[in-house]
Amino acid sequence: MNVRWSHCVLRVRDLDAMIEFYCDALGFKLADRGAVSPEQNIAFLSGSSTDHHQLGLITGRADDDTSSLDHNAFRVDSVEDVQTMVNWVNNDERTGKGFPVTHGNAVSVYFKDPEGNGIEIFCDTAWHVPQPQIGFWDPSQTPEEILDKVKADFGDADGFGPIEEYQAAQASIFNE
């Protein structure tokens, strides 16, 4: 399995100030922004047309939080690789159960390491879906069934389309 670091998500107190900082400091662009729940908002920032986001910023950091890290995410090549991780996580007593999630543009499993740090293992799908989005998938299904369900669940979302079209539009924003 080929595992590559992809992005991290930080819990923040002032979303607008943090968006401005990372856009100014690193030249990131705001890729998406929205509500996760009535109490929580998220923003997705990227410095690349090929990565929907390299940094996520989510509200809800308490004043006494000693760490702002929500999770680190690692990209794998296929749904089968994510399924392998679900099975591994669910059979390893150090992690607890994995939480299979899809955002439409990815098929993921979320879990915690032995010290409680969040981890996401995901593979990209063939589609762009404006974020935030959340759905669930069944690890016992075939990869084809999983991707068919993802497309059925998100295909009617505004902005749903082939990832190549999204990346081409983003390339013009990044002057690539």
The domain that holds 166 is classified in CATH as 3.10.180.10
Note the pTM of the prediction, 2 decimals: 0.85
**DSSP tag of 138:** -
Q: Please report how many Cα atoms fall inside a 13 Å half-sphere around the Cα of residue 157, on the Cβ side.
A: 22
Total of domains in the chain: 1
pLDDT at 45: 95
Beta bridge partners of 137: none
Cβ pair 102, 108 in contact under 8 A: yes
Structural domain of 150: 4-173
105: amino acid identity, one letter: N
Among 1-15, 46-60, 64-78, 133-147, the range of highest mean pLDDT: 133-147
Evaluate the CA torsion angle 90, 71, 77, 52 in order and state its sign: positive
Band (26; pLDDT cuts 50, 70, 90): confident
The structure tokens listed for 128 are 């762009």
- Please say if the pLDDT value at position 130 is more than 90: yes
pLDDT at 64: 86
- Please say if the pLDDT value at position 109 is more than 90: yes
pLDDT at 34: 96
CA-nearest of 8, 155, 157 to 74 is 8
- β-strands 55-59, 4-12: how paired? parallel
Please report which helix (H) or strand (E) contains residue 4, including its range. strand 4-12
- Please say if the pLDDT value at position 149 is more than 90: yes
pLDDT at 114: 80
Cβ pair 30, 16 in contact under 8 A: no
Quote the CA–CA distance of 131 and 34 in Å, as a whole number.
7
